[in-house]
Structure 1
């Protein structure tokens, strides 16, 4: 199988990223692997799509070794034909591109759509990822799984919403990731409300959500594959993120910690409810962020945590994902031209 990962940039990758773990596991399983930056695509005169790629020169035993291989001073970019790949796995985070390269992520999705039309399996489906370019996508899921939400740039509307919520709410940028720019508003922090609003709306819309008391215990990250919770040998790819420093954010970039935790009935019910839309939209791999009986977010761009849950369980979740891609390639070859990309993406 020829497997290419689309990333923000090879030099910004980290050995803790799920993308690197998946790439190393695919190499170990005998597949051809390449990493392509958002900005390195070319639409050729013959209507094929090519790209300059970072191609590992060997199989590696650790994620750090693989990263050193493709980031080394002697590493070179190799031109590959994207149209000849079996799978194009989209693993770029749009949030870091908003300021310096706001065009980059959208452009890469358009190249991915061209690749899909040429028979490449593109994960997650690029047409629907274009629709999911910010957190408004989450509002298309059933109301029962979502916290009460207001999306606006109007400070008066934000203050009215917070007042209606009893003085407690969470404010964050509509386009963002990793817990960046998240403010938890309580009656005790109300003096900072104007600053929080100004900071959030200066670069775009704010999303304001009801405060969920269970958030004090962190959130549950449940990884789904083909619209269902991913599990191997009876163990779910699921863990709790929490922060014991007093910071309300449980994201790793904000000092969050993790512990293995199986999803309870509430989490599995939420996954069941959002599953049909994940399948309908061709969202092959997703990360559900759950607090109590509500889902805070759905990460469909760069759902991570595979390496973390593997470290907690010693279970080969990455291998299970790669084997599932192998199965899709076989199905694609049997039904070539008769299945849409968003269909095969979640079969």
Structure 2
């Protein structure tokens, strides 16, 4: 199987990223693996899609760090390949990382991905619906029962009105963002700085204001889904609890949060059940649900992370399960050809 991973840039990848774990697992099995930066795509005059790519040179690496070190080495050269001849493209770039320096890059890459899908390449998550999910407004299209009460605006007075409606306790964050960046907890202690917080949040556009859920003080659950359902291997869920013991209020690992093994309770599984139909309809093959109690705080459809952490905590081969599932999809695609759309294949 030929598999390409779309990433922001090989030099900004980190060895604790799920993408690197998946790439190492696929290479170890013997699949042809390449990583593609968002600015390295090429539309050919014959209408095929090419790219300058980074390619692992071995099948066996001691760990993720060794693979990434090879790809980022100063002597590592990019190679030109025809992506139209690949079986699978996994879209793993984070649009939030491009907002300030390369705002054109994520949408351009999604359009390239749509062209590849039209030419018969299995592209996941479905690039058309990922375009629809370009910011957190997409979250509001999921069932109301699993969402916190939310307001969205870039007007200071409207944001303050929403906070008042939530009894002065709320979470405010940029509409475009990830990893806990620019997230503020609004309460009595932060009211004195409210104007500065709002101005900082709306500096680059709309802000999203959510009611504060008291259970969030204990952290949240990251539950990874595959084909619209919670990912399990040998009865163990790809799930962990993220928390912050510093009083920061953010549980994201990239924001200094910690993590521990967790099994989703009945409420979390009901949340996953409620969002499954839309995940499947939208071709959201691999996602990360961030759950607090019976509510979903966020859904990561661009670069759902945590596979490496789930594996390290449980000893289960979640990355291997994902690669095996991709192999199955490629077999189905070969059997059915154009009878199955990308969106259908994404969650079969």
What is the TM-score normalised by the length of structure 1? 0.99
**Distance (Å, rounded) in 2 between the aligned partners of 1:304 and 1:285:** 10
Secondary structure of the structure 2 residue equivalent to 1:214: helix
1:72 aligns with 2:55: no
Partner of 2:87: 86
Secondary structure of the structure 1 residue equivalent to 2:223: strand
**Distance (Å, rounded) in 1 between the aligned partners of 2:189 and 2:56:** 52
Q: Spell out the pairing of 1:39-118 with structure 2 (5 A cutoff).
A: 39-59=39-59, 60-118=61-119
**Distance (Å, rounded) in 2 between the aligned partners of 1:337 and 1:146:** 36
In structure 2, the gaps of 5 or more residues are none
Secondary structure of the structure 2 residue equivalent to 1:253: helix
**Distance (Å, rounded) in 2 between the aligned partners of 1:99 and 1:219:** 28
Partner of 1:178: 179
Secondary structure of the structure 1 residue equivalent to 2:339: coil
**Distance (Å, rounded) in 1 between the aligned partners of 2:165 and 2:91:** 39
**Distance (Å, rounded) in 2 between the aligned partners of 1:53 and 1:324:** 24
Secondary structure of the structure 2 residue equivalent to 1:250: coil
**What is the CA deviation profile of residues 180-218 of structure 1, one whole-angstrom value per residue up to 9, with x for unaligned ones?**
101100022111110110000111000000000000000
Partner of 2:8: 8
1:245 aligns with 2:246: yes
Q: CA deviation at 1:142?
A: 0.6
Q: CA deviation at 1:161?
A: 1.0
Secondary structure of the structure 2 residue equivalent to 1:337: helix
Q: CA deviation at 1:99?
A: 1.2
1:338 aligns with 2:321: no
1:216 aligns with 2:217: yes
Secondary structure of the structure 2 residue equivalent to 1:335: helix
Partner of 2:294: 293
**Distance (Å, rounded) in 1 between the aligned partners of 2:165 and 2:178:** 27
Secondary structure of the structure 1 residue equivalent to 2:289: strand
Partner of 1:154: 155
Say how many residue pairs are matched: 347
Secondary structure of the structure 1 residue equivalent to 2:338: coil
**Distance (Å, rounded) in 2 between the aligned partners of 1:128 and 1:281:** 6
**Distance (Å, rounded) in 2 between the aligned partners of 1:19 and 1:123:** 13
Q: CA RMSD in A?
A: 0.6
**Distance (Å, rounded) in 2 between the aligned partners of 1:61 and 1:113:** 35
Partner of 1:37: 37
Partner of 1:128: 129
**Distance (Å, rounded) in 2 between the aligned partners of 1:65 and 1:167:** 48
Q: CA deviation at 1:61?
A: 2.6
In structure 1, the gaps of 5 or more residues are none
Over 6 Å off, 4+ runs: none
**Distance (Å, rounded) in 1 between the aligned partners of 2:207 and 2:117:** 33
Q: CA deviation at 1:158?
A: 0.9
